[in-house]
Structure 1
Amino acid sequence: MAMVIAMSMAWSPVSNVYAATAEEPADLHEQRRALLRESVRRALAAD
């Protein structure tokens, strides 16, 4: 769970690395959400 939270914070408005803004296109936000979902799915998938 800590890894999932850390990954989600990478694009959070409170991130100290990157701050998303409302001026960015909605499709860019969706791309980030999709990347996060896929990253978590792969990280937690049983091989």
Structure 2
Amino acid sequence: MEEVNLIAESVKFMFLGMGVVFAFLTIMIFVLKAQGIILTKFFP
């Protein structure tokens, strides 16, 4: 019974980590796009 609980907890942490990485990469993409727009506006 302890193995099932350990596997469920590891799956939960795996999805939590994947969600954090996905959110970070999505935010980074939008920040880099905005940075490109701002830089081309001030330095054509």
Q: TM-score, normalised by structure 2?
A: 0.47
Higher Cα Rg: structure 1 or 2? 2
Which protein, 1 or 2, shows the higher relative CO under an 8 Å CA cutoff with sep ≥ 6?
Answer: 1
User: Of Structure 1 and Structure 2, which has the larger fraction of its residues in helix?
Assistant: 2
Q: TM-score, normalised by structure 1?
A: 0.45
